[in-house]
């Protein structure tokens, strides 16, 4: 237990330090843009494909149940509420943790093992800022955007499934989907993914940056990054949902 | 060798955990001299290089580069000192997400703010030509052979035209011919740049060819320092065995 608490303390300090250092010049714009491309742009196909498929599947599942009660008109609003409130943010974060978290952990650990970090330091480059801070800031900014893509891809999937099943028009589907939606249902859950992004990049960066076990450390960094960041995302989600309900009580109804 | 000291270790000690890697080590390296550091594995050779460039700090003692003590130096001061230093890492340590050209441009962008992009490109091209990699500028490090990677690492260390070049195991993992080519390059660098060289090596042949003097470390202590001929007559058996060509 003591070791676990020490570890949590170290990771927290690592993340806080990154947030503070992020505002100190010089800014690593070039490497930040590389991370935006790597984390955001290259994750997009996975996010869109997963969103579309999940949208179709959720629509098919809910139709089976709601038809029995003659409530199939609720499918679009159920779909939008599910994805915009919870499924979109959480699934996006878990997918990014798998794709990007492992990459960050293994990538930085490999740089440590092959002396690339020492080489940067010998050139007076702040390796922490260049390798860790840029990834953390990129993840914080990119996660909400990827979540939006996931949300809308799932709505598209849901519409396709409904269109095949009931020949519903796009206009009517969107009308039903967003009739009961408010900004408070949409903005806080989307923005909470910034916290997930922070968790993914901080945990993965920590495992990669602090490795000292040679090539075995690269493997451990990749595995630990995914496992721990996924676990922390789920735990943080519980806390954040409670906080959103507290700040926006109508969301809880 | 005499003349002003390019590097001075003054009673330097360094411990990792319970293991004393360097124990009260003192020596001076003159400007323009090539010193080869030899010793069995784990005797503190690479640690010595890392102390010289400020990647590690000693537990006690002074490490001076030129007239400047870099122990506890600020990042700004360290950066200024490093502007005149180059480091060839054992694994070359090229940034694997950068092309060879970008790897060489990085030190210039970071440590030499006076150069324009065109001047940086010119400096990169000239340095690559010097090590025989001018046709490989656009290649990624993964596309290079072991010998090419070493030469690329050397090119990155040279791009700032350093006065002090630190080289960690230049011949490791290379065949004898390629290792000899790297030694020739180091001699050429010493002559053309009038640079001080500190080379950590296990290769006796290379050490005798490139080094003006050889330092021998054993269990963190400096047990021999002198020319190859002097060390051949050393009373210390480990010194004689390490520097012996046979």
For residue B21, the distance in angstroms to the closest alpha carbon of chain A comes to: 18
- For chain B, say whether A119 makes contact (Cβ under 8 Å): yes
For residue A146, the distance in angstroms to the closest alpha carbon of chain B comes to: 24
Domain boundary among B112, B129, B161: B161
**Mean pLDDT estimate for chain B:** 90
- pLDDT level of residue A216 (50, 70, 90 thresholds): confident
pTM score > 0.90 for this model?
no
B105, B139, B97: which is closest to B122 by C-alpha?
A: B105
Query: Which positions in chain A touch B94 (Cβ < 8 Å)?
Result: 116, 119
Indicate if the pLDDT at residue A253 is higher than 60. no
A244, A43, A35: which is closest to A153 by C-alpha?
A: A43
B199, B190, B134, B211: which is closest to B172 by C-alpha?
A: B199
Whether residue B197 lies inside any domain: the answer is: yes
Whether residue A13 lies inside any domain: the answer is: no
Reduced to 3 states (helix: H, G, I; strand: E, B; else coil), residue A74 is: helix
Query: Which positions in chain B touch A42 (Cβ < 8 Å)?
Result: none
pLDDT at site A2: 81
Whether residue B211 lies inside any domain: the answer is: yes
- For chain B, say whether A116 makes contact (Cβ under 8 Å): yes
The region of weakest confidence among A99-103, A193-197, B108-112, B236-240 is: B108-112
Residue of A nearest to B104 (CA): A123
Reduced to 3 states (helix: H, G, I; strand: E, B; else coil), residue A92 is: helix
Domain boundary among B161, B189, B216: B161
What values do phi and psi take at A86, rounded to 5? Answer: -135, -55
pLDDT tens, residue by residue, B8-58: 999 999 999 889 999 999 999 999 999 999 998 888 999 999 999 999 999
B95–A120 CB contact, under 8 Å: yes
Rounded Cα distance between B80 and B151, Å, is 25
Domain harbouring B60, CATH code: 3.40.50.300
Whether residue A8 lies inside any domain: the answer is: no
Indicate if the pLDDT at residue A140 is higher than 90. yes
Tell me, yes or no, whether B135 and B148 share the same domain: yes
Rounded Cα distance between A79 and B202, Å, is 67
- Percentage with pLDDT > 70 across chain A: 98
Q: What is the DSSP letter of B235?
A: S
Q: Who has greater pLDDT, B214 or B115?
A: B214
Indicate if the pLDDT at residue A200 is higher than 70. yes
Burial of B140 (0-12, 13-18, 19+ CB in 10 A): middle
Rounded Cα distance between B77 and B162, Å, is 16
Tell me, yes or no, whether B167 and B79 share the same domain: yes
Whether residue A163 lies inside any domain: the answer is: yes
Indicate if the pLDDT at residue B215 is higher than 60. yes
Q: What is the DSSP letter of A37?
A: I
Tell me the CA distances in angstroms from A163 to A56, A72, A151, one per residue in order. Answer: 11, 12, 18
pLDDT at site B174: 79
- Percentage with pLDDT > 70 across chain B: 98
Tell me, yes or no, whether B148 and B172 share the same domain: no
Whether residue A14 lies inside any domain: the answer is: no
pLDDT at site B2: 60
Q: Count other Cβ atoms within 10 Å, centred on residue B117.
A: 10
Percent of chain A as helix, strand, coil, to the nearest 5: 90, 0, 10
pLDDT at site A56: 95
Average pLDDT, stretch B210-228?
93
Whether residue A130 lies inside any domain: the answer is: yes
For residue A114, the distance in angstroms to the closest alpha carbon of chain B comes to: 6
B43, B72, B45: which is closest to B57 by C-alpha?
A: B72
pLDDT at site A235: 94
Look at chain B and report how many structural domains it folds into.
2
Tell me, yes or no, whether B168 and B157 share the same domain: no
Per the document, the length of chain A is 253
**Nearest by CB to A119, which of B78, B85, B89?**
B89
Beta bridge partners of residue A90, listed in sequence order: none
Reduced to 3 states (helix: H, G, I; strand: E, B; else coil), residue A192 is: coil
Q: Who has greater pLDDT, A171 or B3?
A: A171
As given in the structure block, the two tokens for residue A136 are 């953390």
Beta bridge partners of residue B13, listed in sequence order: B60
Indicate if the pLDDT at residue B246 is higher than 80. no
B97–A123 CB contact, under 8 Å: no
**Taking a contact as any Cβ pair under 8 Å apart, which residues of chain A between 125 and 184 contact chain B?**
125
Residue of B nearest to A28 (CA): B110
> Among the residues of B3-145, which ranges form H helices?
45-52, 75-82, 100-111, 117-130
User: Most A CBs within 10 Å: which of B83, B87, B99, as the mutation test of the A interface?
Assistant: B87
- For chain A, say whether B90 makes contact (Cβ under 8 Å): yes
- pLDDT level of residue B200 (50, 70, 90 thresholds): very high
Query: Which positions in chain A touch B111 (Cβ < 8 Å)?
Result: 123-124
Average pLDDT, stretch A7-17?
92
**Mean pLDDT estimate for chain A:** 91
Tell me, yes or no, whether B169 and B239 share the same domain: yes
Whether residue B244 lies inside any domain: the answer is: yes
Reduced to 3 states (helix: H, G, I; strand: E, B; else coil), residue B42 is: coil
Query: Which positions in chain B touch A122 (Cβ < 8 Å)?
Result: 53, 55, 82, 85, 87
For residue A233, the distance in angstroms to the closest alpha carbon of chain B comes to: 29
- For chain A, say whether B162 makes contact (Cβ under 8 Å): no
Tell me, yes or no, whether B80 and B168 share the same domain: yes
Whether residue A112 lies inside any domain: the answer is: yes
Whether residue A173 lies inside any domain: the answer is: yes
Domain boundary among B118, B139, B161: B161
**Taking a contact as any Cβ pair under 8 Å apart, which residues of chain A between 34 and 93 contact chain B?**
34
CA angle, B152 then B153 then B156, to 5°: 90
pLDDT at site A37: 94
* Cis bond before residue A26 (omega within 30° of 0): yes
**Nearest by CB to A118, which of B78, B89, B94?**
B89
Query: Which positions in chain B touch A34 (Cβ < 8 Å)?
Result: 97
pLDDT at site B26: 95
Q: What residue numbers bound the domain in which B128 lies?
A: 95-161
- For chain B, say whether A118 makes contact (Cβ under 8 Å): yes
pLDDT at site B112: 79
Tell me, yes or no, whether B46 and B167 share the same domain: yes
Tell me, yes or no, whether B73 and B112 share the same domain: no
Tell me, yes or no, whether B4 and B54 share the same domain: yes
Whether residue B89 lies inside any domain: the answer is: no
Tell me, yes or no, whether B182 and B71 share the same domain: yes
Which long-range contacts (C-beta less than 8 Å, at least 24 apart) are formed by A82-85?
Answer: A82/A58, A83/A51, A83/A54, A83/A55, A83/A58, A83/A150, A83/A151, A83/A154, A83/A155, A84/A151, A84/A181, A84/A185, A84/A186, A84/A189, A84/A190, A85/A185, A85/A189, A85/A251
Whether residue B228 lies inside any domain: the answer is: yes
Indicate if the pLDDT at residue B75 is higher than 90. no
Name, in order, each residue with C-beta under 8 angstroms of A80's C-beta and a sequence gap of 6 or more: A155, A177, A178, A181
Rounded Cα distance between A101 and A105, Å, is 6
Average pLDDT, stretch B136-152?
91
Query: Which positions in chain B touch A114 (Cβ < 8 Å)?
Result: 91, 93, 96
Look at chain A and report how many structural domains it folds into.
1
Name, in order, each residue with C-beta under 8 angstroms of B196's C-beta and a sequence gap of 6 or more: B6, B7, B29, B30, B31, B32, B33, B34, B163, B164, B165
Indicate if the pLDDT at residue A250 is higher than 80. no
ipTM confidence:
0.86
For residue A37, the distance in angstroms to the closest alpha carbon of chain B comes to: 13
pLDDT at site B1: 54
Indicate if the pLDDT at residue A251 is higher than 70. no
Indicate if the pLDDT at residue A138 is higher than 60. yes
Tell me, yes or no, whether B226 and B245 share the same domain: yes
As given in the structure block, the two tokens for residue A30 are 């070039």
Average pLDDT, stretch B152-171?
91
Whether residue A4 lies inside any domain: the answer is: no
Query: Which positions in chain A touch B82 (Cβ < 8 Å)?
Result: 122-124
Query: Which positions in chain B touch A115 (Cβ < 8 Å)?
Result: 89-91, 93
B97–A34 CB contact, under 8 Å: yes
Q: Count other Cβ atoms within 10 Å, centred on residue B147.
A: 17
The answer to whether the CB of B54 falls within 8 A of the CB of B78 is yes
Q: What residue numbers bound the domain in which A198 lies?
A: 28-246
For residue A35, the distance in angstroms to the closest alpha carbon of chain B comes to: 12
The answer to whether the CB of B167 falls within 8 A of the CB of B198 is yes
Tell me, yes or no, whether B156 and B168 share the same domain: no
For residue A4, the distance in angstroms to the closest alpha carbon of chain B comes to: 22
B220, B173, B198: which is closest to B37 by C-alpha?
A: B198
């Amino acid at each position: 237990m003591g070791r676990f608490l020490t570890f949590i303390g170290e990771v927290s300090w690592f993340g806080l330090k990154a947030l503070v250092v992020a505002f100190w010049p010089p800014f690593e714009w070039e490497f930040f843009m590389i991370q935006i491309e790597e984390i955001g742009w290259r994750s997009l196909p996975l996010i869109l494909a997963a969103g579309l498929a999940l949208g179709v599947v959720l629509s098919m599942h809910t139709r089976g149940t709601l038809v029995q009660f003659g409530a199939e008109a609720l499918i679009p609003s159920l779909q939008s509420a599910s994805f915009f409130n919870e499924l979109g943010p959480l699934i996006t974060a878990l997918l990014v943790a798998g794709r990007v978290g492992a990459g960050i952990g293994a990538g930085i650990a490999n740089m440590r093992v092959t002396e690339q970090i020492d080489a940067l330091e010998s050139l007076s480059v702040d390796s922490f800022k260049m390798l860790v801070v840029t990834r953390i800031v990129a993840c914080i900014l990119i996660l909400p955007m990827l979540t939006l893509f996931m949300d809308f891809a799932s709505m598209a999937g849901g519409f396709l499934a409904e269109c095949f099943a009931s020949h519903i028009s796009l206009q009517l589907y969107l009308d039903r989907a967003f009739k009961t939606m408010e900004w408070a249902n949409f903005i806080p859950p989307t923005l909470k993914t910034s916290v997930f992004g922070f968790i993914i990049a901080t945990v993965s960066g920590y495992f990669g940056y602090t490795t000292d076990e040679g090539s075995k450390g690269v493997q451990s960094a990749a595995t630990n990054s995914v496992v721990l960041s996924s676990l922390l995302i789920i735990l943080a989600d519980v806390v954040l949902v409670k906080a959103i309900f507290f700040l926006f009580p109508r969301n809880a109804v | 060798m005499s003349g002003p000291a390019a590097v001075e270790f003054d009673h330097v000690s360094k411990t990792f955990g319970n293991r004393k890697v360097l124990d009260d080590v003192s020596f001076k390296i003159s400007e323009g001299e090539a010193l080869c550091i030899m010793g069995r594995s784990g005797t503190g050779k690479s640690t010595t290089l890392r102390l010289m460039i400020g990647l590690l700090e000693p537990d006690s003692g002074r490490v001076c580069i030129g007239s400047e003590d870099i122990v506890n130096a600020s990042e700004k001061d360290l950066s200024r000192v490093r502007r005149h230093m180059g480091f060839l890492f054992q694994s070359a340590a090229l940034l694997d997400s950068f092309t060879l050209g970008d790897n060489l441009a990085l030190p210039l962008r970071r440590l030499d703010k006076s150069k324009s992009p065109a001047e940086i490109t010119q400096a990169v091209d000239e340095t690559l030509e010097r090590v025989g990699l001018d046709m490989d500028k656009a290649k990624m490090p993964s596309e290079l052979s072991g010998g090419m990677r070493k030469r690329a690492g050397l090119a990155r260390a040279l791009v700032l035209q350093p006065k002090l070049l630190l080289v960690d195991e230049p011949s490791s993992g290379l065949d004898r011919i390629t290792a000899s080519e790297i030694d020739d390059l180091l001699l050429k660098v010493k002559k053309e740049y009038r640079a001080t060289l500190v080379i950590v090596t296990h290769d006796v042949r290379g050490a005798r060819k490139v080094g003006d003097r050889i330092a021998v470390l054993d269990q963190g202590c400096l047990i021999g320092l002198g020319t190859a001929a002097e060390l051949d007559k050393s009373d210390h058996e480990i010194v004689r065995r390490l520097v012996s060509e046979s």
